[in-house]
Amino acid sequence: MNTVSPSSAPASAPGQAAPGQTTSGQVWAHVGQPFAPRSYDVVVLGAGRMGSAFAFYLRGLAPHLSLLLLEEGGLPNEDGATLLAPGVWTARGVPENRKAEADWTREQLETAFGDISFQARPLIELFAEDGPERTPAAEALAPHPDALAMVDVTALPFAHTDAGAATYRPGALALAAAQMAVKSGADLMLNARAHAVSAGEVVIERLSVTNTHQIVVHETHRLRAGTLVLALGADGPHAAEHDLGVHTTHARAYRQTPRLNVPSTDDTPTLRAAGLTLRPQNGGFTLIPAVHHRDPHGYVPTGGHLTGVPTGLRRETLEDLVALMDALPPLGTEALGLGRSISDIPGAWLALPGGRADGLPLHQTLTDGVHLLLGGPHADTLGLAVTYDLAAAVAGVEERPWENAPV
Amino acid sequence: MNTVSPSSAPASAPGQAAPGQTTSGQVWAHVGQPFAPRSYDVVVLGAGRMGSAFAFYLRGLAPHLSLLLLEEGGLPNEDGATLLAPGVWTARGVPENRKAEADWTREQLETAFGDISFQARPLIELFAEDGPERTPAAEALAPHPDALAMVDVTALPFAHTDAGAATYRPGALALAAAQMAVKSGADLMLNARAHAVSAGEVVIERLSVTNTHQIVVHETHRLRAGTLVLALGADGPHAAEHDLGVHTTHARAYRQTPRLNVPSTDDTPTLRAAGLTLRPQNGGFTLIPAVHHRDPHGYVPTGGHLTGVPTGLRRETLEDLVALMDALPPLGTEALGLGRSISDIPGAWLALPGGRADGLPLHQTLTDGVHLLLGGPHADTLGLAVTYDLAAAVAGVEERPWENAPV
């Protein structure tokens, strides 16, 4: 159970501002704040970065549409994928026809959300074989002695450098976007589990915590919504099917992000090898393992074993790291936090749009007036453009800012 | 708990044959038959088709090497992959440099193991798009009205026909190979769980069943083996790591083979579309779904849901079948046996050599004198050649029969 940060707007009565001024929306952070159900033009389920950014953009594009943003946890949800997302913007892997959206997303990350720890930081991808646009790894890493020291450049002698890459904090983005949405008139309810009952109707369960730390439903409301947006991350496709009977092709995978305690600074580049991303963070590295494919329905994340010793890392990730230990020697040391059980390693379910490990963020109409909004593995780079695109569609706005980019 | 079929050789004392004649080996089918441990030149763990064929070939190539074949269940093991293998020989998907082995395997299947229901039967693969060696599906299916009636040729208008394909029963192959191995002098113990303790040493637990149907260890033996062969199917890589500390790259996947109750005859071709194989069997069809990738460590097979109704088919397979329902209309009818829980649908763990869904059968030296023998998705087509290759290597024989094939 989380509460909104103190900087958020308190619950307040609507209509306090003078005519012409923007009125802040209401915030219900806990069940002590009474809620009188009303209809909304738009209800958004999920205040991760996708749902929050959608709410923010929609308030800007269509201030006449009333909007309620619902979140089961706090800002951001501790169990969601937003908080553990790498926060690495890179043009690598973006199809040519989506580059303008990626560039626009980068500009938004840099300028539109205040301090979200945005930082230009090259991404150096390392390879065993030569290929187009690759340079000797020793040369690419030479300006970064700390990174060079982590790599056996005889095992990974080639490098591709994305000099335009950047890092930021997706959790800070979600929080800022939600706060800005509220400031521009969106209502926000935290600790509220919501289900679409049908197109146009939502049931909200307001949650509270008992003395014995059990989460219970305090009260239930039913309200009408002209437009519904499911921004529930990896849970979205399940909700679409379970609540609305709409089957999709999307899937999910459980991704763990273990810690590598090798020193890093603001100048350390992000490294990548064989799909593993080493993201400098908090003076060390967060490892973002490759997602090779979906996890099957019914899979319960399970720790692995390394030469008989239990670890908190799942077996498949462990195998990938073991295969890289020669090329990236720190992975073979105690600097790698393996944990002892699954709960020792941060991890979250990641949506895989289209069931693909390389699926791009998307929105999709599930049924009249109900949209699914999915981030997934490339949400860092394209998520904001996709949320804007849906917001513009809901607002009835034709223009997309990235289409006006100078050639 | 299974017992050997009545046609198998009974437990008998060794050395009954006259000098120069081949002596049948001993068979211990149950714990009532006393076993006096002795050393063997070769001990094979697992009497599926790979282990049994290996034993058969090795007896032929090196009759001077004493051999013990151990099997945890019966012949074949009810929980193993052999019994549920499709039994479809096809040159499709076989790399050019392995074609000679595939052809040799086909010849062996046809001639070397007696009646294993071997039958020449074309494999007609259907496609939505045109491509090399493809013909109109309506033409390819015209000689087979029963198959034509199952396909919407507007959805799958193109076909590739492998006229040289064949079907057989892998379970019958395993049984025949084990019986022939025994007849040529191999010893065989059923209902015996075995572990490699180290290179050269095996612990055998002889299993029996209590009045309350619990499987218990009746007695334990330890014996020496010059050469050890792990032919444990999908359990082999785990045994290699757990018992011998040797990490491999192999993985496994749980494959279910549901029934499609549409009539078939001996003349019905095998069909394939989008990785799904429809194998005519017992007057209907057995469906062999595509294996897209490994299942994660810790995965417990789980049934799925179809529009809210529980099914015994796992979710991923269900999705694949739903996607094919328009192109193969019988999949959308009650002819498809969906079951209600996982136990309703036959399924087994399939080894994925090299962790790949298209991995070819292989053998691999784990440590001095210990070999891993893996079948996997292409065992129907290449398994016998790979078992022969290992048998020849153990026997010290240089020649491979497929290398003498006329050009």
pLDDT tens, A367-401?
Answer: 999 999 999 999 999 999 999 999 999 999 999 99
Q: For the segment B299-308, what is each residue's pLDDT rounded down to a tens digit? A: 999 998 877 7
At residue B195, φ and ψ (nearest 5 deg) are -130, 140
Facing A292 at nearest CB: one of B247, B293, B299: B293
Q: Which domains does chain B have, with CATH numbers?
A: 27-82+171-249+356-395 (3.50.50.60), 123-162+258-345 (3.30.9.10)
Q: In whole angstroms, give the CA distance from residue B87 to residue B150.
A: 21
Query: Per the CB < 8 Å rule, is B299 touching A301?
Result: no
Facing B293 at nearest CB: one of A245, A293, A315: A293
Q: Is pLDDT above 70 for B112?
A: yes
* pLDDT in the model for residue B16: 46
- Structure tokens belonging to residue B206: 């002889």
Q: For the segment B206-257, what is each residue's pLDDT rounded down to a tens digit? A: 999 998 889 999 999 999 999 999 999 999 999 999 999 898 999 999 999 9
Amino acid in the structure at residue B373: L
* pLDDT in the model for residue B308: 77
Q: In whole angstroms, give the CA distance from residue A233 to residue A45.
A: 10
Strands A67-70 and A40-45: parallel
Q: For the segment A190-236, what is each residue's pLDDT rounded down to a tens digit? A: 999 999 988 789 999 999 999 888 999 999 999 999 999 999 999 99
Distance from CA of B89 to the nearest CA of A (A): 29
At residue B241, φ and ψ (nearest 5 deg) are -80, -45
CB B17 within 8 Å of CB B23: yes
Among all residues of chain B, which has the CA nearest to that of A302? B298
Facing A296 at nearest CB: one of B245, B308, B316: B316
Find the mean pLDDT for residues A30-38.
Answer: 93
Q: For the segment A314-372, what is each residue's pLDDT rounded down to a tens digit? A: 999 999 999 999 999 999 999 999 999 999 999 999 999 999 999 999 999 999 999 99
* ipTM beyond cut 0.90: no
Query: Per the CB < 8 Å rule, is B296 touching A302?
Result: yes
Nearest C-alpha neighbor of B237 from the set B126, B145, B362? B362
The mean pLDDT of chain A is: 93
pTM of this structure: 0.89
Residue B292 with chain A: CB contacts under 8 Å: 293
CB A75 within 8 Å of CB A189: no
Query: Per the CB < 8 Å rule, is A301 touching B298?
Result: yes
At residue B203, φ and ψ (nearest 5 deg) are -105, 130
Query: Per the CB < 8 Å rule, is B301 touching A301?
Result: no
Q: For the segment B268-290, what is each residue's pLDDT rounded down to a tens digit? A: 999 999 999 999 999 999 999 99
Longest CA span, chain B: 69
B88: left (phi over 0), alpha (psi -120 to 50) or beta: beta
| Per-residue H/E/C for A292-304 | CCCCCCCCCCCCC
Q: For the segment B13-61, what is each residue's pLDDT rounded down to a tens digit? A: 444 444 556 789 999 999 999 999 999 999 999 999 999 999 999 999 9
Between residues 271 and 330 of chain B, which touch chain A (CB distance below 8 Å)?
292-302, 304, 307-308, 314-316, 319, 322
A207: left (phi over 0), alpha (psi -120 to 50) or beta: beta
CB A133 within 8 Å of CB A125: no
Nearest C-alpha neighbor of A155 from the set A323, A301, A22? A323
Facing B298 at nearest CB: one of A247, A300, A307: A300
Q: Give, in order, the Cα–Cα distances in Å from A195 to each of A36, A219, B4.
A: 18, 14, 56
Facing A302 at nearest CB: one of B247, B297, B322: B297
SS3 B138: helix
* pLDDT in the model for residue A21: 61
Distance from CA of A295 to the nearest CA of B (A): 7
Nearest C-alpha neighbor of B275 from the set B234, B317, B305? B317
Query: Per the CB < 8 Å rule, is B298 touching A295?
Result: no
Q: In whole angstroms, give the CA distance from residue A156 to residue A127.
A: 5
CB B231 within 8 Å of CB B214: no
SS3 B274: coil
Query: Per the CB < 8 Å rule, is B296 touching A304?
Result: no
pLDDT-based confidence at residue A24 (cuts at 50, 70, 90): very high
Distance from CA of B326 to the nearest CA of A (A): 16
SS3 A337: coil
Give me the count of residues in chain B: 407
Distance from CA of A193 to the nearest CA of B (A): 21
Q: For the segment A48-80, what is each residue's pLDDT rounded down to a tens digit? A: 999 999 999 999 999 999 999 999 999 888 888
How many CB atoms within 10 Å of residue A37? 11
